[in-house]
Amino acid sequence: MSNYIVVTGAAGFIGANLAHALNERGITDVIAVDNLARAEKFRNLVDCEIADYLDKTDFIARVQNGDFDGGIRAVLHEGACSDTMETDGRYMMENNYRYSAILLDWCLEQGIPFLYASSAATYGGGQVFREERACEAPLNVYGYSKFLFDQLVRRRLPDAASQVVGLRYFNVYGPREQHKRRMASVAFHHFGQFRAEGRVRLFEGSHGYPDGGQMRDFVYVGDVVQANLHFLDHPERSGIFNLGSGRAQSFNDVAVAVINGCRALAGETALTLAEIVQQGLLEYTAFPGELKGKYQAHTQADLTRLRAAGYDAPFASVEEGVSRYVQWLNRQI
């Protein structure tokens, strides 16, 4: 049983892509852990080969009971509540912090690699995105839950005899995120809007940025998966690392890429942002009041530590990644 890899959040966005990537390597000894209260997530695993499925509550109980002692090769911990608008702090901390802490300590006791999902939400409204305490000031309880766990990891790392890797995901987009509904990427929502209405919507300008000009580090899920597998292949490397593309691009860039991707499917030529706005294919809506004080208007991953750890693969631009994603979404229709 010692060859099993546990993927938590396995029916979720990044977890499902990781499970499929393990299959592509010929690895089917995967224990998928998730919470299928939102049942439609099962579709992410229909074409995936797994050895077993466990509810997240059953899994952690069995871990604490010693059922898996000596039987697991590695844990890829992607499971979390990722709704940045969630207001139940007790649920968020139990789900994202306490659960993760139990798994971390078990992996350290077992001497097995523990790779987990952190988040750029740990930086909050800051302008410097470097993996240092001075740069971290989360704006919501989701970001705080991830920040607090990173702090726990920092305390454990000096004495850790096995691998612990935290990957601070920036704005991830790509296949298998449809179940996230309102928390799915802007690229996913734009594709749906354009198919349904022939236009897409973005926020008006804010934080000193023009309409649709707010900027994020958008990273394609395929690149996120490859970085995870890199660390899985190098168990001697530990730490907390940013995982974004390393470049900030505007929401307008995403909208243009989606619209032109859809136009290409219809055999139509690409348009510039100005042409898209002029033709009414993109419209801007008022910036929502409930996001004031809780919104990151600019993110850009500092990849210095990731590169220093030996990960040298390129990251797709918005234009490249969204083009691939639009083609994938079109195949699902």
The residue count of the chain comes to 333
How many other CB atoms are found less than 10 A from the CB of residue 26? 7
Of the residues 180, 284, 295, 311, which is catalytic? 180
Contacts of 250 (CB under 8 A, 6+ apart): 209, 212, 213, 214, 215
Catalytic residue at 180? yes
Triad 88, 90, 95: Cα angle to 5°: 100
Contacts of 49 (CB under 8 A, 6+ apart): 23, 28, 30
For the chain, list the strands marked E by DSSP: 4-8, 30-34, 52-55, 72-77, 114-119, 164-169, 171-173, 200-203, 215-216, 218-220, 239-243, 249-250, 282-285
CA distances from 197 to 143, 193, 218, 325 (A): 34, 6, 24, 19
**Cβ(149)–Cβ(100) under 8 Å?**
yes
Interatomic CA distance for residues 318 and 187, integer angstroms: 10
Identify the helix (H) or strand (E) that includes residue 251: helix 251-265
Of the residues 99, 116, 123, 142, which is catalytic? 142
Interatomic CA distance for residues 192 and 308, integer angstroms: 39
Catalytic residue at 91? no
- What is 4-25 written as a DSSP string? EEEEETTTSHHHHHHHHHHHHT
Contacts of 159 (CB under 8 A, 6+ apart): none
Return the closest-CA partner of residue 29 out of 2, 10, 9, 56: 2
For 148-187, list the strands marked E by DSSP: 164-169, 171-173
Interatomic CA distance for residues 195 and 31, integer angstroms: 37
Point out the residues that are catalytic: 142, 180
